[in-house]
């Protein structure tokens, strides 16, 4: 099987996020593989081990994105592709990402594409379905189970805490949800092998694209941290008194009534 994983470099939300001039301060941020994409990498490796073939991880990023690709290679992926837009694009959005990926996959034989359900930095969840549409492929989001047999996929899809059973055919694009698997940690032998695995670097010129082709369709107006949560209030007294105080608070302080 020809299996591809869409990877994104995101900041580590367990670290303190600093803003400078309305943007995340890259100098003080630690970057990792988007956690949902780790489920995609793990599932790709499992499907390859069961059915044969190769796993290729693909990311759109900058020079520093090689670190996340090498981590995926250390987990067990076979090869990686970095589409480096550092010198070509100042800003991009989901349209930009899908346009570049569409051009990348134009001449590829694909059986299965896996991606994270969302990226934790923007959480739009748009890239998977938009790319599947552009590639005219079957698409299922938020999967928590995947079995493939003779070109047919049996999928468990998470739907608000329940599971929907879906059957579809390959080629297929899926986005992966927590619960699909337990991503492995790169082993020391895997880390050493990753240094020797192929990592191809492309620019948008190599995909017959120019800056106008991938110009963002949206604009980010402001980036800000959420307000710190205030301490909660405990309403005491008899039930009737509690109801009256709650209604007063909702009307006069929260102003939602």
- The pLDDT assigned to 255 comes to 82
- The pLDDT assigned to 28 comes to 66
Token code pair at residue 146: 């995947």
Q: What is the CATH number of domain 2-214?
A: 3.40.50.620
* Domain spans of the chain, in order of start: 2-214, 227-257
Q: With contact defined as beta carbons under 8 Å apart, do 45 and 75 qualify? A: yes
What is the distance between the terminal CA atoms of the chain, rounded to a whole angstrom?
57
Q: What is the mean pLDDT of each run of 10 residues along the chain (257 residues)?
A: 94 75 70 93 97 96 92 96 89 91 95 93 88 95 95 94 94 95 93 93 92 87 77 86 90 82
- The pLDDT assigned to 208 comes to 92
- The pLDDT assigned to 224 comes to 77
Q: With contact defined as beta carbons under 8 Å apart, do 96 and 215 qualify? A: yes
For 45, the 3-state DSSP assignment is helix
Q: Which class for 240: exposed (0-12), middle (13-18), buried (19 or more C-beta within 10 A)? A: exposed
Neighbours of 191 (CB within 10 A): 14
The pTM of the full predicted model, rounded to 2 decimals, is 0.85
For 65, the 3-state DSSP assignment is helix
- The pLDDT assigned to 88 comes to 83
Token code pair at residue 139: 């698409």
């Amino acid at each position: 099987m020809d299996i591809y994983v869409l990877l994104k470099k995101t900041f580590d939300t367990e670290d303190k996020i600093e803003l400078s001039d309305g943007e995340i301060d890259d100098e003080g941020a630690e970057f990792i593989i988007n956690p949902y994409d780790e489920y995609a990498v793990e599932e790709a490796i499992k499907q390859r081990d069961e059915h044969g073939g190769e796993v290729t991880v693909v990311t759109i990023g900058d020079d520093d994105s090689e670190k996340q690709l090498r981590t995926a290679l250390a987990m067990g992926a076979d090869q990686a592709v970095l589409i480096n837009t550092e010198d070509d694009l100042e800003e991009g959005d989901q349209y930009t990402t899908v346009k570049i990926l569409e051009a990348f996959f134009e001449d590829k034989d694909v059986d299965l594409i896996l991606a994270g359900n969302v990226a934790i930095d923007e959480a739009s969840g748009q890239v998977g379905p938009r790319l599947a549409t552009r590639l005219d492929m079957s698409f299922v989001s938020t999967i928590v189970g995947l079995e493939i047999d003779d070109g047919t996929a049996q999928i468990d899809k998470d739907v608000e805490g329940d599971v929907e059973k879906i059957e579809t055919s390959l080629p297929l694009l899926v986005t992966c949800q927590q619960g699909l698997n337990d991503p492995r940690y790169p082993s020391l032998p895997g880390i050493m092998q990753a240094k020797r695995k192929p990592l191809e670097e492309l620019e948008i010129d190599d995909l017959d694209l120019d800056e106008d082709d991938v110009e963002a369709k949206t604009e980010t107006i402001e980036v800000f941290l959420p307000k710190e949560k205030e301490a909660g209030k405990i309403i005491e007294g008899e039930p009737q008194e509690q109801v009256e105080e709650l209604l007063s608070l909702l009307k006069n302080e929260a102003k939602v009534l």
